[in-house]
Amino acid sequence: MSVFDGFRARLDRILAESGGADGRAYISGLRDAVIEAKAAVASMRDQLSATERELATEQRQLADAERRGALAQGIGDAETAAVAERFGAKHRERAGVLERKLAVQREELALASRELDEMMSELRKTQPRSGGGAAGASASAEAAWRDIQSAGGARPDTDLDGELLKAEAERKLHEAAVDAQLAHLKKKLGRE
């Protein structure tokens, strides 16, 4: 069952309730559904990224267990080699599960993205057209930005969340550089 079945059902209900007479209610419902769908797709992307990170961790742990097992066998430590093999089997099994989960999440995300694109296309079709030269183009551009913002997108000059995230990332990078410098100085002073 698709993530968007609930959105589609709600849209169908809105259309049926409006009887086709109140296009504004349908458009409003469609906008709300697009906003919710964008949030759902973003959440799915976050979950996909989390699974990718989890898989990478399992693969690292598997590689570590295999390396330790090989080292233990190399020195004749059968007990450590057996423990490493058990851990390797556990991590191998977990990595396999995560790989299958990742494949399913990718398929679901692709399906959800296609359905979101269809909904956005339908929303664009319902938007009134405006013409009339430069003034019409300016009004049309403003209307387009409003639609993008109402659908969960951000206008570059008003993307406060994006700017805050960027500033936070820059602050963390700066702090990491300061910490690295401090560690280097402490190490250097400790030698002298």
Domain boundaries, the chain: 5-126, 159-192
From residue 31, give the alpha-carbon distance in Å to each of 17, 21, 126. 17, 18, 10
Give yes or no for a contact between 51 and 168, defined as CB atoms under 8 angstroms apart. no
Distance in angstroms (rounded) separating the CA atoms of residues 189 and 184: 9
Is residue 180 predicted with pLDDT exceeding 50? Answer: yes
| Residue 5 pLDDT > 90 | no
**Confidence (pLDDT) at 62:** 93
pTM more than 0.75: no
| pLDDT tens-digit readout, 115-145 | 888 888 887 887 765 444 455 556 666 677 6
Q: What pLDDT digit, counting tens, does each position of 48-78 carry?
A: 999 999 999 999 999 999 999 999 999 998 9
Angstrom distance (rounded) from CA 87 to CA 62: 8
pLDDT of residue 21 exceeding 50, the answer is yes
